[in-house]
Amino acid sequence: MNQCPLCNDTSAYIERSESIHIECRTCGIYKLNRKAFDDLPTEHRLQPNLFKVSIYNMFRTVRNLPIMTYFINDDLSQITPRATLAEIIEQFPTHVSNRADRVLLTLSIKSKFAGHRLRLLNQIKDHPY
Ligand SMILES: [Zn+2]
Query: In angstroms, rounded to a whole number, what is the distance separating the alpha carbons of residues 20 and 32?
Result: 5
- Residue 83 burial by Cβ neighbours in a 10 Å radius (0-12, 13-18, 19+): middle
Is 2 domain-assigned? no
Q: 72: domain range?
A: 13-110
Question: How far is ligand 1, taken at its centre, from the CA of residue 26, in Å?
Answer: 5
Mean of the per-residue pLDDT values of the chain? 88
Q: What is the pTM of this model?
A: 0.82
Distance 96 CA to ligand 1 centre (A): 23
The pLDDT > 70 percentage for the chain reads: 91
Inside any domain, residue 56: yes
Distance 55 CA to ligand 1 centre (A): 9
Specify the number of domains making up the chain: 1
Give the C-alpha distances (Å, rounded to integers) separating 62 from 40, 96, 124: 25, 20, 18
Q: Is residue 129 part of a domain?
A: no
**Interval 15-29 mean pLDDT:** 94
pLDDT digits (tens, 9 = 90+) for 41-96: 999 999 999 999 999 999 899 889 999 999 999 877 788 899 999 999 999 988 88
Q: Is residue 120 part of a domain?
A: no
Span 20-38, average pLDDT: 95
* CA pair distance 126, 18, nearest whole angstrom: 30
Q: Rounded mean pLDDT of 15-35? A: 94
Asked, for residue 103, whether it belongs to a domain, the answer is yes
85 CA from centroid of ligand 1 (Å)? 14
Output the CA 4–ligand 1 centroid distance in Å: 5
pLDDT value at position 1? 66
d(CA 103, CA 82): 24
